[in-house]
Each structure stands twice: as C-alpha cells, then as structure tokens.
Structure 1
Amino acid sequence: MKEKLTDRLINSLAPTDKRYEVRDTVVPGFLVRVGVTGLKSYYLVYTGEDGKRSKYKIGLCDAVSLADAREEARRRAGEVAAGKNLNQVKKEARQKSIAEKSQKLGTFIDDIYRPWREAERKRADEDLDRLKLHFGGWYSKPMTEITERKVLEFRQKRLGKGISEKTVNRDIAALMAVLSHAVRVGVLKESPLKKFKQLKVDMRTKVRFLSKEEDARLMELLEGREAKAREGRSSYNRFLKDRKKPLKPEIREDQFSDHVYPLILIAIHTGCRPEELLELDWKNVDLGHKTLTVVGAGAKSGQTRHIPLSNKAVEAFERWQRSPGSKKKGLVFPGKTGKPMERLPRAITRVIENAQIEDFRPYDFRHTFASRLALAGVDLNTIRELLGHEDISTTLIYAHLTHDHRKEAVARVFG
C-alpha cells in the first residue's frame, strides 16, 4: 500500500490481526508500520551495497513528528547512497554504548566480576564488601580513570587515619584484582594500576600467641563457664519439674554446653583458620586414625591437607560429639540455620576479654598452634604444611622461635 503520508492518514490507521505497512510516495523507502497492538513506527527500507534489503527503524510515531521522520529518512537514504550500512552502524553504536557502560567500575563489578568471584573463589563477600566500603564512591567512574595518583591519594588518607600498611595493601589489592580481571575478559586493554607498587610490609613481625599463664587463665575460665552452664541447666530443669513441664537435657561433665569451648580447643590444637573450622564436616574428622582433613574446596590455598590430631584435640571432638548441641553428622559447628556461620561467635572474643588476655584475636589461636611447634623445634617446612601455607615465606614469621643456626654462629665466634 502506497500513499502520501500525512498526520491525518497516520492517525486514521487502525490495527488488524496482522501487521501491515504504508509506504510514502514522497520519500522512497520511507514507511509507517502498524502493529497488531496499534503501535505505529517509522522505518526506512533500503538496499545495501551487498544487494540485501534492510529496514532501519527511525522511531515511534508518538515520539517523532512526521516532518522530522521524513527528513531523517532523506538523510539516512543519502548515507546509504554513500555506502553506509545503517543497521551495522546502529549495532556498533549499541555495542560501544554497552562497552562504555561495562567499563564503569560499579557496573563491571556487579555484572561481571561479582558472578565470577562468587563462582570461583571462597568467601568472595569479604573482598566485595571491602570494594564497596572503600571504593563505592568510584563506582560511577570508568575504570580507565582510576589512576595511580588517585590510588596514592587514597592510600595516604588511609595511612593518615592510622590504618596499618598491611590493611591498606589488602584494600588496594582487592581493587587491583578487579582491574586485572577486566583485562582478562577483554573489557580493558591493560590495567591502569599495572605498574602500581604496594607498600613493603615487614612479614616477620612478632606474632601473638598464648603464653602458658594466659592459656591456664583461659582454660580455667572456660571450665568455670561450663560449670555455670551445667548448674544453670539443672536449676532450670528444677523450675520446669515444679511446673510439670518437659525437661531439657542435662549437661554432663563429659559434654560441652555450647560450641565456644570446643572451637577454642580445636583451633589451638589444629591451627585451622576460622573459616576452615566453621566449614569442617564430621566426615573429615577421623578420630580412629587421629586425623583431620581440610578439603581443598574450603582451604584458602585450594589444596587439601591432613592434620594429625593430638590427644587433647581428639578428646575435644569426642566430648563435643556427646554434647546436646552437636549434630553428630554434617557440619561440626553449624550455625542456627544449619549452614556454616559467617564468622566465629562473638562469645569467643568475650571469653578472651574476660580472661584478661590483651591484644589477642581469635585468629591468634592459629598462631599459638604454630608457635608451640616452632618452640618445640619443629622445622619451618613441616609447620608450613600443617598450616596450609602455599609459600614458606608466610611461615617465616615463626622463624625467630625455631632453633636458629644464626644464634649458634654468633655464640661460636663471640661466646
């Protein structure tokens, strides 16, 4: 159907059960398409250099006036005559727009980096939260605008607030990982932080571990906590019995009242990382052969390792198995929902504080395990294997506690 297009004609076009078109007699190839829903759109039909006929959408009739649409059709027809493929140009412009959008830090993290990180890395939320916290203000900027100068200014501000060099390095490393992944997937040609130098950090600083006195205070407090819990349960059961209500299971001396005490004991006697303990499954605890297996999927290094269990560690596992709060199978220390807890219970920190152990974090139970091995003369490579370190350099923080050939050398020469 061909006719000179006018506003009156376009307004009179009614929808049918099939889509149809009305071609303009003024500008060749210019037409109006009427959809079955009544939606009307302007198009230009053209034949490209390859001989193929194509349709180029100019816009909706409600959004573009007839005069503007006709003028646009004339202009686009001229571009076709000059050799342009209109739809190809539009496609390239759309792809460019998508590419530019994906180059924004926030868009790239949400659409590309986050799904990859969550699929291929354990506990991805930690770094993703770190990125949002420290670099959320940069999310609307293209990644190419993240310059070394900008990151240096960020670093100076953080250090000025008293944040440790190690923590600041970790913050920046999370950002550098995003930019490196953008290069890996072809969004960036190269990372703007490719040549950025992190702060040199002393990796052999003194580690914090429990002294004999602190260990004794901690164990005494934990035993007292258990005795108080047993008495509390007995008292509550007497209360229930008087009212003829169902009683709660009594807590025996060979059981734990909750997971705080066994978590601390097992952390000290295995050197496991907190997240490894929280994801530990009973099937990986072999009490018969006195071995605990940290499977690669739950390990920071991604490598499975086997840790021999001391008699005290075995006793702790067996006592926990007998306890009312233990599930006997599945996770050794499940959260309330049955899934792994996100972090060690706050009660552990309170126990440390109540035992008057200063400047000590729950992670330092792992240092306690390693330090005791070093003090007993165990070689660093064995300690590395037990801790699951990928590189011996990480284990060197315990070097000053081992039998040191340098001490012998000085003593031999200078007495």
Structure 2
Amino acid sequence: MPEWFKKLRLVDINNKEVEMLQSYFIKQQYSTATCNRYISILKASMTKAYEWELISEKKLKSIRKVKPLKGENKRLRYLNSEEIQRLLDVCDKHLYPIVFIALHTGMRKGEILNLKWDMIDLKNDLILLDKTKNCERREIPINKALKQVLLQLHSQRRLDTDYVFVNPDTGKNYTYIKRSFATACRKAGIKDFHFHDLRHTYASQLVMNGVDLKTVQELLGHKSLTMTLRYAHLSQAHKREAVKVLEKLHYYNFTTFYYSEG
C-alpha cells in the first residue's frame, strides 16, 4: 500500500483516490485479480465505516462506483488422479515432498517453502500456520499418507536449521522451485499447469469426493465462501457422472416397458 494512501483519513477517500490506488497497483505490476481483490477489501472496509456512521452514504456510493479491472483470470486448472500420479512419479527427490504436501494440504507455495518443524505437530497430526495470506491462523489436518512423508523428512532433517525444506548446497530453505516444477510437468506430459494449481487440485478432489464447500473453505483458509464457490460446479458434474452407473444395471429392460392409458 503506498504511503500517500496510508496517510489519508476516511473522510478524504473518494472514488478519485481509489482509482489512483488502482493505477498504483498496475504500475507495481500486480495481477488483475490481486488489484481487484485489494479494491474489494477497501470497499468492504468503507461499507463497514458507513455502518459505524464514520462516513456518509454519499461517500460510500462514490467509492462503490469504482469498477473492477477487466481481464481477471477465472482459470481453474486441476489434475485428475492419473495425472497426479504421473507428476509425482517424475518429481526430483527434493521436489516430491513439496508437491506431495501441496496435494494433501492445499497450502500455498510460500507457506510450504517457509514451513518449519515447530509448525508441525506430529502428535496431534496438525500443521499450524500463523502467517497466512489472510493474516489469520490456520490449522491443517495431517492425513496418514502425509504423516508418513513428514516422518521420513523428520528422520533426515538437518539440525542446523528449523526449516523443513532445505537446499543442501546453501543450507537455507528453498525459495525457487519454478524450474524443477516445470521440468516435472514436462516429463509428466502435463501442460498449462502452475504450482498454485496444486491448490486447485486439492480443493477440486475434495469437492468431487463429496466434501462440502464450507469444509473446503475452512481447509483452504478462504475468508468468505465466495472464493470457494468456484469449485461448486465440480460437485454437480461429479454427481451427474455418478448416476450414469445406473445405466449399466441389468434391471433396466426397456424392451419390456409398456405404457398403457387408463
């Protein structure tokens, strides 16, 4: 957030200042989605200020007139079970557990690479995140498959650092895995796929296997259900595929089906 904006009082913020803030984000090369998210948060804050009678209705309407930037990417890319296995099979030794954790927790890349052992509670099977994107504490359950991977990593951990994923050449935590991840995707024959899409894969697989959206929201750490609703259609599509099983059952003998009036 620019310093000039931080110094503004509530009563000084109008649509002009909000549009200037949009321009600042664009110059900083923020993505369209990120720009729109920040402006959306600002509008929500100003709505709350109006409810608390800190600003006038006229000012709130003025700010709400600021339109979101066009061209926001609505992309939702995820892997099916067969693609997941192909990707894991070709991951380098250092990359495999990073990808595995992403697939089993939905954690963001930065959260995984900055993961420390004191954030992992293997006794209670929880990963505890204090510094998240939404600035809220998040508890992520550890399933049996992930626990085996974490136990293996713990048995091989370096004692000179608390980071889980450490570059053996530098002794510091990994900060860049883009090249190795791209290589793994190429070897697996997976195109148009980014590391963040592992988070989409995690959520999509949960929804397609019957987990409700509210639970998925909590696991992902979304502040509102709106962001989680992008996965809603997967539940319906999966159900439609499921009922097709009935077409194969033998008790459907349409050749002996008759309709008689009266």
Indicate which of 209, 212, 224 corresponds to 2:78.
209
1:396 aligned to 2:229?
Answer: yes
Kindly report which structure 2 residues correspond to 1:138-177, keeping only aligned pairs within 5 A, or say none: 167-171=31-35
Aligned counterpart, 2:259: none
Q: How far, CA to CA, are the matches of 2:37 and 2:226 in structure 1?
A: 19
Task: Sort the Cα spacing of 1:385 and 1:151 in 2 relative to 1 into closer, same or farther, 3 A.
Answer: closer
Indicate which of 281, 284, 304 corresponds to 2:116.
281
| AA matched with 2:32 | V
1:195 aligned to 2:59?
Answer: no
Number of equivalent positions: 217
Pairwise CA distance, 1:357? 0.8
Q: How far, CA to CA, are the matches of 1:151 and 1:388 in structure 2?
A: 26
CA contact (8 A) 2:33 2:72 kept: no
Aligned counterpart, 2:96: 261
Greater per-residue strand proportion: 1
| AA matched with 1:210 | L
Give SS of 2:31's match: helix
Structure 2 regions of 5+ residues with no counterpart? Answer: 8-12, 50-58, 245-262
Kindly report which structure 2 residues correspond to 1:66-215, keeping only aligned pairs within 5 A, or say none: 108=4, 167-171=31-35, 195-199=65-69, 205=74, 207-215=76-84
Task: Sort the Cα spacing of 1:167 and 1:279 in 2 relative to 1 into closer, same or farther, 3 A.
Answer: same
Give SS of 1:300's match: coil
Kindly report which structure 2 residues correspond to 1:2-401, keeping only aligned pairs within 5 A, or say none: 108=4, 167-171=31-35, 195-199=65-69, 205=74, 207-222=76-91, 225-226=92-93, 258=94, 260-295=95-130, 298-323=131-156, 326-327=158-159, 330-334=162-166, 336=170, 338=172, 341=175, 344-401=177-234
Q: How far, CA to CA, are the matches of 2:20 and 2:124 in structure 1?
A: 55
Aligned counterpart, 2:52: none
Q: How far, CA to CA, are the matches of 1:312 and 1:406 in structure 2?
A: 27
Task: Sort the Cα spacing of 1:211 and 1:328 in 2 relative to 1 into closer, same or farther, 3 A.
Answer: farther
Q: TM-score, normalised by structure 2?
A: 0.64
Q: TM-score, normalised by structure 1?
A: 0.43
Deviations along 1:81-123, whole A, 9 cap, x unmatched?
xxxxxxxxxxxxxxxxxxxxxxxx97737xx67xxxxxxxxxx
CA contact (8 A) 1:282 1:332 kept: yes
Task: Sort the Cα spacing of 1:405 and 1:263 in 2 relative to 1 into closer, same or farther, 3 A.
Answer: closer
| AA matched with 2:201 | T
Give SS of 1:402's match: helix
| AA matched with 1:262 | P
Higher RCO (C-alpha 8 Å, min separation 6): 2
Pairwise CA distance, 1:314? 1.0
Q: How far, CA to CA, are the matches of 2:238 and 2:89 in structure 1?
A: 38
Give SS of 2:153's match: helix
Deviations along 1:216-241, whole A, 9 cap, x unmatched?
2212213xx44xxxxxxxxxxxxxxx
Pairwise CA distance, 1:364? 0.9
CA contact (8 A) 2:166 2:174 kept: yes
Task: Sort the Cα spacing of 1:311 and 1:172 in 2 relative to 1 into closer, same or farther, 3 A.
Answer: closer
Structure 1 regions of 5+ residues with no counterpart? Answer: 1-104, 114-142, 185-189, 227-257
CA contact (8 A) 1:321 1:328 kept: no
Q: Percent identity?
A: 28
